Amino acid sequence: MAPRMEITDREETIVLSKEKKVTGTLLWIVIVACLGSMQYGYHLWIIYSPAVIIHHFHYLDDEALEIGNVDSPGFLLMIALTMSVFPVGGTTGSLVFGPLVDKYGRKGALFLNSFFAVISCLIMVCANMLHSFGLVMFARFVIGISIGIYSSATPLYIAEISPVKSRGAMSMLPYFFIALGLVVAQILSFRELLGTHGGWPVLMSLSGILALFQCFLMTSFPESPRYLLIQRRDEEQARRVLRHLRGVSDVENEIEELHQEDILEAEEKDMNALKLLTYRDLRWQVLSIIVLMVAQQFSGVNSAYYYASKIYASMGISLNYIPYINLSSSTVIMGTILFTMLFIDSKGRRVLLLIGFGAISIISLLLTISIEIQKKNGNTWMLYTNIALVNLFINAQVIGPGSLRYLLMAELFRQSSRSSAYVVGGFTHWIIHFFGILIYVQIKQYIGPYTFLVSLPFCVAAFLYIYKVIPETKNRTFMEIYNLLSEEKKAAFDVEPDE
């Protein structure tokens, strides 16, 4: 039995429930690590802002693009290409992530990427100072690389340093900080602040300050104890880190669990992304991650954000007020994430995923019908129904599909194959994000609200797959989850689990 912990000024303990304890040290480390996720959310809003894109188009000197005509093929193509450069960078970052995190460690990869994020923002500053559209496109690509690394490195680091019984809540914090980054970007982009022609260059470079702050703070942070023991063979350092993170001197139970995992995953020691795709023993884990990534990207979330602004305009709301309404919606999303954090370790991941995809499936059908009714009959009251459904759709995304993919990626794989799983999952996310933007910008004016019907089969298929294959992972060690998945496969498909 672990000795009673003495609470000092340096090691304040925060009690989340009777069985879950998180030290102040651990919480501080997680919050600083989440500053990368905050940059993610900040750039999502700024990079995809139509005002920023149009601002950068002024750097071009090509009348053939017909910049003034928003319906021209040249204008739509340039918007699609400009927006898609960012996920191309994200795809590159996801591929770089695997070798980076295995060579330099989880904390090491975060630290190096923070430094790289500062450089990427400096490139954007230079691009705006030189009024160079080509350099702007390169800066968007480099920022995408940084965010692609952050999107995997942050949840991986947090999942590996968190105690079992609060791993879910801790792993939800990156998504809270993504929403916080969105809110900060929305506030700063108000016309009263930096949302002006002269303010956009400043706005696009501000996240570099956050990256520099994170880079400075992370110098003293510990490495993942799982990485230290299993991949670096440094048991004593892993034990010291665990004592520091848990605030207790007796961490032998966790050390023993790491030793067991180290022995049982002997065949996965030299794993990489290509090997993982063909590795028979992990095929269902890989398929599960790909299904979740594809379903989330094709769930219609981009359509929901697009129609939110369109519906506000249809209601006669001035364009000057729409940014404030968007801010209130983002604030509600933050509240939804905090609400989900209260239940994720008690109700579980699987039930939240089922609720999320189930709700999205129903709302997609209702939203398509209500938008069509409003278009044909012109009923004003239907506009309020539409905006309520859109906001329900976005918050249903937050409950499961949008926030739990990277947590499950950590939980379904063992240590040596986990970084490769993040490469496969991250690549799938960003490459689909790239093609989704490229295609959606071109076809949205032709298919209208029927984009929600296109996404409906993906959501239903994901719901059925989760119900049939993915086990509940709450309050279980990584080894217990791995063994449970083997049992679930046998029960679901009536086959012997892989040896």
Same domain, 409 and 313: yes
Same domain, 216 and 274: no
Domain range enclosing 123:
16-221
Single pTM value for the model: 0.86
Angle at 78 between CA 330 and CA 128, to 5 degrees: 70
Average pLDDT over residues 11-24: 50
* CA–CA gap between residue 32 and residue 366 (Å, rounded): 41
Q: Which two tokens stand for residue 244?
A: 């520091």
Average pLDDT over residues 146-167: 92
Tokens 């989850």 map to which residue? 481
* CA–CA gap between residue 175 and residue 171 (Å, rounded): 8
Whether the per-residue pLDDT at 30 is higher than 70: the answer is yes
Same domain, 215 and 273: no
Q: Quick check: is 252 in a domain? A: no
Average pLDDT over residues 464-484: 86
Whether the per-residue pLDDT at 309 is higher than 80: the answer is no
Q: Quick check: is 244 in a domain? A: no
Please give, one letter per residue, the 3-state secondary structure of the chain: CCCCCCCCCCCCEEECCCCCEEEHHHHHHHHHHCHHHHHHHHHHHHHCCHHHHHHHHCCCCCHHHCCCCCCCHHHHHHHHHHHHHHHHHHHHHHHHHHHHHHHHCHHHHHHHHHHHHHHHHHHHHHHHHHCCHHHHHHHHHHHHHHHHHHHHHHHHHHHHHCCHHHHHHHHHHHHHHHHHHHHHHHHHCCCCCCCCCCCHHHHHHCHHHHHHHHHHHHHHCCCCHHHHHHHCCCHHHHHHHHHHHHCCCCCHHHHHHHHHHHHHCHHHCCCCHHHHHHCHHHHHHHHHHHHHHHHHHCCCHHHHHHHHHHHHHHCCCCCCCHHHHHHHHHHHHHHHHHHHHHHCCCCCHHHHHHHHHHHHHHHHHHHHHHHHHHHHHCCHHHHHHHHHHHHHHHHHHHHCCCCCHHHHHHHCCCHHHHHHHHHHHHHHHHHHHHHHHHHHHHHHHHHHHHHHHHHHHHHHHHHHHHHHCCCCCCCCCHHHHHHHHHHHHHHHHCCCCCC
- Last residue of some domain: 189, 221, 253? 221
- Last residue of some domain: 165, 188, 221? 221
- Last residue of some domain: 187, 221, 255? 221
Same domain, 63 and 158: yes
Same domain, 279 and 375: yes
Q: For residue 250, what pLDDT is reported?
A: 87
User: What CATH number does the domain containing 132 carry?
Assistant: 1.20.1250.20
Comparing 164-173, 237-246, 350-359, 430-439, the range with the smallest average pLDDT is: 430-439
> Rounded mean pLDDT of the chain?
81
Same domain, 305 and 191: no
Whether the per-residue pLDDT at 290 is higher than 90: the answer is yes
Q: Quick check: is 5 in a domain? A: no
Q: For residue 269, what pLDDT is reported?
A: 76
pLDDT tens-digit map of 250-280: 888 889 888 888 888 777 777 888 889 888 8
Q: For residue 57, what pLDDT is reported?
A: 60
Q: Quick check: is 237 in a domain? A: no
pLDDT tens-digit map of 194-249: 877 777 778 878 888 899 999 999 888 999 999 999 988 899 999 999 999 988 88
Q: For residue 50, what pLDDT is reported?
A: 65
Same domain, 210 and 336: no
Neighbouring-strand partners of residue 23 = 13
Q: Quick check: is 204 in a domain? A: yes
Average pLDDT over residues 169-187: 92
Q: Quick check: is 234 in a domain? A: no
Q: Quick check: is 7 in a domain? A: no
Same domain, 284 and 427: yes
* CA–CA gap between residue 136 and residue 131 (Å, rounded): 8
Q: Quick check: is 305 in a domain? A: yes
Q: For residue 12, what pLDDT is reported?
A: 39
Same domain, 66 and 207: yes
Same domain, 393 and 453: yes
User: To the nearest whole percent, how much of the chain has pLDDT over 70?
Assistant: 82
Same domain, 168 and 314: no
The total of structural domains in the chain comes to: 2
Same domain, 305 and 190: no
Comparing 16-20, 95-99, 384-388, 462-466, the range with the smallest average pLDDT is: 16-20
pLDDT tens-digit map of 94-103: 999 989 999 9
